[in-house]
Amino acid sequence: MMQTRFPTDDGFSMPPEWAPHAGTYMAWPCNGDVFRDRLDQARDAYAGLAKAIADFEPVTMYAQAGDVEDAAARCGKSVSVVAQPLDDSWARDIGATFTTDGKGALAGIDWRFNAWGEGYPHWEKDALVAAAMIERERARAYPIPIFMEGGGLHTDGRGTILTTDSVILNDNRNPGLTKPEADEILTRALGGTQVIWLDGEALEYDDTDGHIDNLSCFVREGVVATLVAADPLDPQYERLKANADRLRAARDATGKPFEVVEIAHPEKRVEHGNRLALSYINFYIANQAVMAPVFDDPADGPALDILRRLFPERTVIPLPGIEVVRGGGCFHCITQQVPRA
């Protein structure tokens, strides 16, 4: 691993998600097994999100060759639909993690991908998507021989990284990898000196093994939003509270404490024997806007109020999230930003 060339070796680091974007990538739903009998509804939800983002920045929608016409028809002329072989539709996880050098150059991290620890039978096409993105953006490529997904990390762009202990350290991805080794990989890949580890198994069910983007995220320098349960009797209550407490006790790369803002999740909803991983943290920050999932739940209003307070300079746009969550993620999971170099 020490022989691997990392972006930071050449002056690149990952900007925070609120930094200006050159555009957004998405991937058109194509796996009927994931969305069961709701693939058509999922496609409408993806199209709705893509069109909303396209009001603020360019959107590129990858789609299987046979789906290009359908995707273009649903997304409209504001979204560029590009043919790309796919197994699934989670652009955050299959796509490149982009970095910049502050001098106008763009680079992409190509993590290894194995469908969330071989959680699904096919990922051969998805494993090539990051390289395709990097080539399309004419960015410098940094292949890193570790299994990791974009939904498993957040950065404040100033040296602090958020992740969970159940993804990169999981034996279904990187058996034998230690936390100090993971610290080095993440900081050298993304740019930073401090990694804050949270409990990725705080949700009752999450087939990513606990991505950080369902749990906590930076919203601006020094401020972290984190998911909590309002009901002390909820099985998720204690572990989500422990994550919030861990964030309050943590310090950023400069030694400063965080302002921790709690957002309570919707009421429990079970489908096909599993609790849906409903989270208001899984929003997407676009240029001048925040695309916020709502779930036709009493908690929607309070969550949107908090997001509007956290992003006073952006328009918070509520969009239905349930059809995306039925597939296993939400808006952050199905988008990947390209920072403006």
pLDDT of residue 60: 98
C-beta of residue 118 within 8 angstroms of C-beta of residue 132: no
| Average pLDDT estimate for 130-138 | 98
Q: Say yes or no to pLDDT of 125 above 70.
A: yes
* Average pLDDT value for the chain: 97
For 6, phi then psi, to 5°, come to -105, 155
SS3 state at 206:
coil
Which residue, 179, 176, 180, is CA-closest to 165?
Answer: 179
Q: Does domain 7-339 have CATH number 3.30.70.100?
A: no
| Average pLDDT estimate for 168-173 | 98
**Residue 333 annotated to the active site:** yes
Does pTM surpass 0.95?
yes
SS3 state at 3:
coil
pLDDT of residue 58: 98
| Average pLDDT estimate for 326-335 | 97
Amino acid at 257: P
Q: Catalytic one among 30, 75, 330, 333?
A: 333
Cα–Cα distances (Å) from 190 to 21, 78, 113, 186, 255, in that order, read 17, 31, 17, 6, 19
> CB count, 10 Å around CB of 170?
19
Q: Say yes or no to pLDDT of 123 above 70.
A: yes
Integer Rg of the chain from CA: 18
pLDDT of residue 2: 58
pLDDT of residue 3: 83
Question: Which percentage of the chain shows pLDDT scores above 70?
Answer: 99
Confidence band of 143 (pLDDT split at 50, 70, 90): very high
